[in-house]
C-alpha cells in the first residue's frame, strides 16, 4: 500500500486528467446506450437493452462488421509492408534523402480530413485531375471520367488507399528509427558469414525491428479501427450501407438518423470489438514479451 501512496505524486496528475476528462463522457456513452433519447436529444427514460437489440437486428450489421475487419486488416497489413520497403529506401544514403524524408512526413502533418478531401476532389468526375489523367492516358473511356467515389466498391478501395497513405509516415519513421539500432557489427558479421542481403534482412534486421513494429502495429490497429473521416468523405454520397464500417455507421446513426442512443450502443459494441482485436493481437504477437 505504501508503494501506491509513494507513486501517487508521480502518476496522480495523469490519473486526475484521465479521470477528470475522459471518464465522465465514457460513462455517459455507456449510460446513453441504455436510454431512450428523442431525436432532439431529450432523455425519455430507460430503454433497457433495446438499443443493443436495434444494433444487432439491423440487417446490414454483419456485413458492416465484416467490412470493418477487412478495413483494419488490409490497411494495417499493407501499411506495414509498404513502410518496411519505404524505410529501407530512406535508410540508404543518397543525395536529396533529407527532402524525401520530409515529404514522407507531410501526410502526418496534414489533417486526415483535408488529405481525403483533396483525393476525393481529384477523383470526382468532370472536376477531378486524377480522373482527367486516367482519361488522358486512355484508361477511362468516358470523357467526364469514372465515378470512383460514386460506387461502393471503388470508393471503399480508394478509402483503403488513402488510409494506408496517411498511416505510412508514422509507421515508416518508427521502422526507420528501428533500423538505426541494428548494430553495424552484426551486419558485418552476417556479411562475413556469407549471408546474402535477403537472408541478412530476414535473419538479422527484422528481428531487431520486432519491438518497434509491434508497438507501431498496435497503435495503427486502434487508429485505423477508429478512423471515421476517410470513409465519411469518400463514401458519404453513396446510398445504402454497402460501403460502411462500424465507425461510419455510428456516424450515420448520429448525423442521419439522430439516434444518439443507438449510436452510443454501437460505440460500446465497437469498444468491445477493438479490445478483443487488441487482445488477440497481444496474444499472437506478444509485444509485451521479453525480447
What is the closest distance, in whole angstroms, from the C-beta atom of residue 130 to other proteins in the complex?
8
Write down how long the chain is. Answer: 291
Bridge-partner residues for 43, per DSSP?
37
As given in the structure block, the three cell numbers for residue 137 are 492516358
Reduced to 3 states (helix: H, G, I; strand: E, B; else coil), residue 124 is: coil
- Based on CB atoms, which residue is closest to other proteins, 38 or 62? 38
What is the closest distance, in whole angstroms, from the C-beta atom of residue 18 to other proteins in the complex?
6
- Based on CB atoms, which residue is closest to other proteins, 65 or 121? 121
What is the closest distance, in whole angstroms, from the C-beta atom of residue 61 to other proteins in the complex?
14
What is the closest distance, in whole angstroms, from the C-beta atom of residue 110 to other proteins in the complex?
5
> For residue 247, what are the CA distances in angstroms to 29, 166, 231, 254?
15, 18, 9, 11
As given in the structure block, the three cell numbers for residue 157 are 478501395
- Based on CB atoms, which residue is closest to other proteins, 71 or 165? 165
- Based on CB atoms, which residue is closest to other proteins, 74 or 150? 150
> For residue 260, what are the CA distances in angstroms to 63, 240, 250?
22, 20, 9
Contact in structure between 224 and 278 (CB atoms under 8 Å):
no
CA pair distance 164, 74, nearest whole angstrom? 9
What is the closest distance, in whole angstroms, from the C-beta atom of residue 277 to other proteins in the complex?
10
Cα four-point dihedral sign 153, 158, 162, 168: positive
- Based on CB atoms, which residue is closest to other proteins, 86 or 160? 86
- Based on CB atoms, which residue is closest to other proteins, 74 or 271? 271
Contact in structure between 104 and 98 (CB atoms under 8 Å):
no
CA pair distance 289, 79, nearest whole angstrom? 23
What is the closest distance, in whole angstroms, from the C-beta atom of residue 212 to other proteins in the complex?
3
Amino acid at each position: 500500500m505504501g508503494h501506491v501512496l509513494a507513486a501517487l505524486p508521480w502518476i496522480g496528475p495523469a490519473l486526475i486528467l484521465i479521470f477528470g476528462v475522459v471518464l465522465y463522457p465514457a460513462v455517459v456513452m455507456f449510460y446513453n446506450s441504455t436510454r431512450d433519447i428523442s431525436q432532439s436529444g431529450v432523455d425519455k427514460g430507460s430503454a433497457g437493452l433495446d438499443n443493443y437489440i436495434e444494433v444487432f437486428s439491423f440487417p446490414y450489421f454483419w456485413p458492416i462488421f465484416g467490412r470493418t475487419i477487412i478495413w483494419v486488416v488490409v490497411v494495417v497489413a499493407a501499411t506495414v509492408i509498404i513502410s518496411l520497403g519505404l524505410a529501407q529506401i530512406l535508410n540508404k544514403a543518397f543525395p536529396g534523402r533529407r527532402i524525401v524524408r520530409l515529404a514522407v512526413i507531410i501526410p502526418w502533418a496534414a489533417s486526415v480530413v483535408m488529405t481525403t478531401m483533396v483525393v476525393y476532389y481529384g477523383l470526382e468526375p468532370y472536376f477531378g485531375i486524377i480522373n482527367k489523367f486516367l482519361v488522358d492516358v486512355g484508361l477511362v473511356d468516358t470523357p467526364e471520367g469514372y465515378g470512383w467515389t460514386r460506387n461502393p466498391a471503388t470508393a471503399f478501395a480508394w478509402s483503403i488507399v488513402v488510409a494506408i497513405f496517411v498511416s505510412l509516415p508514422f509507421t515508416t519513421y518508427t521502422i526507420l528509427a528501428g533500423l538505426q539500432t541494428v548494430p553495424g557489427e552484426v551486419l558485418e558479421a552476417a556479411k562475413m558469414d556469407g549471408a546474402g542481403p535477403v537472408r541478412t534482412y530476414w535473419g538479422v534486421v527484422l528481428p531487431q525491428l520486432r519491438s518497434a513494429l509491434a508497438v507501431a502495429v498496435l497503435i495503427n490497429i486502434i487508429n485505423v479501427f477508429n478512423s471515421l473521416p476517410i470513409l465519411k468523405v469518400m463514401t458519404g454520397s453513396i446510398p445504402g450501407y454497402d460501403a460502411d464500417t462500424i465507425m461510419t455507421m455510428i456516424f450515420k446513426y448520429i448525423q442521419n438518423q439522430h439516434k444518439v442512443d443507438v449510436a452510443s450502443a454501437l460505440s460500446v459494441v465497437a469498444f468491445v470489438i477493438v479490445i478483443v482485436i487488441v487482445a488477440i493481437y497481444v496474444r499472437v504477437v506478444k509485444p509485451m514479451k521479453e525480447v
